[in-house]
Structure 1
Amino acid sequence: MARKNAKRILVVLSEYGYWGEELVGPLHHFDQRGYEVDFATPTGKRAHALPPSMDPGYIDPPLGRSVTSEEVARLTRELDGSDRLDDPLDISAWLPQRPYTSDDDYLRRLEEYHRAVALVEQELDAYDALLIVGGSGPIVDLGNNERLHEIILAFHRAGKPIAAECYGVTPLAFARDWEDRESIIRGKRVTGHCKEYDYKDGTGFLGTDFVMGPPPYPLEYILRDATGPDGRYIGNFGKETSVIVDFPFITGRSTPDSYLTGEKVVEVLEDGLRRFGW
């Protein structure tokens, strides 16, 4: 049960599959604190965990070992089978689509778009932090989702914590004000799925039979470029965990970093943590 005056977290999930521990881990810490948690997906469809993330026998090819414990697999199956993720917020209904420059009456439509975004920004003021959960799904429907970018920008303008894990870090690189087109993580320290951990084959997504080879982009390269000369991508390859706090951003590299990511979100909110891991 949420405590009186509890923090409120907006958690964004892909409709093409999230990695179980990357939701279970942060939720463990949010629930311990009695935080209120609202879930959102790109079109309001219920999110589901990727099957390998519920299987402790699944061997992660880059690591050559299982990355899911029996306990985490159980917790993921219980969450996925519960009604907690039912009826998520529909981001596509919440925020309008930015008009094309070729649309009729473009200027008036753009003004209307900005008015609508400003109203949503007022609604987002009810939240204390944002979390974008990773897995392969975000590659499909979160990375270049302009509506999600507007949500991220709203949290950024408000100076509120923005957390992301694994491929859920991608939208942070692409969230940009249209005036200067500069990534909001420029000059920041972040982590995210490193090149050594990318699949060479077998990247799959829920809701489709399509299975591709490696991911369509190496996230590490995108993050290195987006952070610019004054920032830094920190992969921590060879270390068991990699979580970086460079306020307002809390980024986790991959699955083993999920619980630590949630822990650091809590420390940012409760203790004023502004820097960790670098």
Structure 2
Amino acid sequence: MSKRILVVLSEYGYWGEELVGPLEAFDARDYRTTFITPNGKRAHALPPSLDSEYLDPPLGRSVTSRDMARRARALDDSSRLDNPLSLAEMVPERPYYSALNHLRELEEYHRGLAGATGELLSAFDALMIVGGSGPIVDLANNERLHELVLAFAAAGRPILAECYGVATLAFARDWESRRSLLWGKHVTGHPKEYDYKDGTGFLGVDFNMGPPPYPLEYILRDATGPDGRFHGNVGKETSVVVDFPFVTARSTPDSTLAGELLIEVLENGLTRYGW
């Protein structure tokens, strides 16, 4: 039976190649892909990711080939990303502790959560979180997405996260222990050397944040703890790390390899790569 992948996209912009690379690898295997966004709004690519002339400031060169810009624009202009699922509609929200009937609401929350995650686990074999600057806004600290990540990890289902999407894994934590799921794991992600000093942008808002609001490398170093490790692989063309159930990718050039390695996890039981 064809594998089924649930693909999480930010409503504030995804990086074109970071969707196209894995998606084309999945399509080549006839995998079925379904898209989901925080509120069910249609996701769009960040404009710089569709521009082969755009020079990435930290790297001092274009990171998007003309062919990739064409493929990413074709996908973004197509109807394939229309009508995504909505996390807000499918996964309940934990009540505030100040709720008047907190205990009953919390019981109802756990019942609803078990049903929602059970339904999604029965429908999908793996989860993918696409990168770009958008995930900083609506994926990294999205508690509904955290619950989905926790459920997939507990069920032994692989999770691929790219670039700033990896922050979601660092912040997904058991409510009691508060320890990151990445504790003791080996991961990669956007290193400090790759961060912008200015110009971090998002779709739908007229706001230049300047540098990213948090250095992802530092978060991942803390989240993995003394027995895990962050691998920046700065100076190497690609950086993808598999430490089951997680597949993490550093940035744009790693997208296709990340998709191929998720396929290796699903088809051949790969559990370790890149460390």
In the TM superposition, residue 220 of structure 1 has moved relative to its aligned partner by 0.2
Q: Which residue of 2 aligns with 1:239?
A: 236
Q: Pick from 45, 50, 56 the counterpart of residue 49 of structure 1.
A: 45
Contact 2:6 2:128 in 1 (8 A): yes
Helix, strand or coil: the match of 1:167?
helix
In the TM superposition, residue 182 of structure 1 has moved relative to its aligned partner by 0.5
Q: Which residue of 1 aligns with 2:24?
A: 28
Contact 1:8 1:37 in 2 (8 A): yes
The answer as to 2:202 corresponding to 1:202 is: no
Q: Which residue of 2 aligns with 1:151?
A: 148
Helix, strand or coil: the match of 1:211?
coil
The answer as to 2:182 corresponding to 1:185 is: yes
Contact 1:124 1:154 in 2 (8 A): no
- Deviations along 1:17-75, one digit per CA (max 9) or x if unpaired, are 00000000000110000000000000000000000000000000000000000111000
In the TM superposition, residue 79 of structure 1 has moved relative to its aligned partner by 0.3
Q: Which residue of 2 aligns with 1:160?
A: 157
Q: Pick from 205, 211, 215 the counterpart of residue 212 of structure 2.
A: 215
Q: Which residue of 1 aligns with 2:90?
A: 94
Contact 2:91 2:117 in 1 (8 A): no
Which amino acid counterpart does residue 101 of structure 1 have in structure 2? Y
In the TM superposition, residue 212 of structure 1 has moved relative to its aligned partner by 1.4
Q: Which residue of 1 aligns with 2:80?
A: 84
Aligned positions, number: 274
The answer as to 2:34 corresponding to 1:17 is: no
Which amino acid counterpart does residue 236 of structure 2 have in structure 1? K
**Whole-Å separation in 2 of the counterparts to 1:80 and 1:163:** 21
**Whole-Å separation in 1 of the counterparts to 2:235 and 2:163:** 16
In the TM superposition, residue 109 of structure 1 has moved relative to its aligned partner by 0.4
In the TM superposition, residue 122 of structure 1 has moved relative to its aligned partner by 1.3
- Deviations along 1:231-268, one digit per CA (max 9) or x if unpaired, are 00011011000000000000000001000100100000
TM-score relative to the length of structure 2: 0.99
**Whole-Å separation in 1 of the counterparts to 2:143 and 2:126:** 19
In the TM superposition, residue 96 of structure 1 has moved relative to its aligned partner by 1.2
**Whole-Å separation in 2 of the counterparts to 1:110 and 1:78:** 44
In the TM superposition, residue 214 of structure 1 has moved relative to its aligned partner by 0.3
> Over the residues paired in the alignment, what is the CA RMSD in angstroms?
0.5
**Whole-Å separation in 2 of the counterparts to 1:61 and 1:180:** 39
Helix, strand or coil: the match of 2:7?
strand
**Whole-Å separation in 2 of the counterparts to 1:98 and 1:179:** 14
Q: Which residue of 1 aligns with 2:135?
A: 138
**Whole-Å separation in 2 of the counterparts to 1:145 and 1:23:** 20
TM-score relative to the length of structure 1: 0.98
The answer as to 2:117 corresponding to 1:112 is: no
**Whole-Å separation in 1 of the counterparts to 2:62 and 2:268:** 34
Unaligned runs of 5+ in 2: none
Helix, strand or coil: the match of 2:247?
strand
Unaligned runs of 5+ in 1: none
Q: Which residue of 2 aligns with 1:259?
A: 256
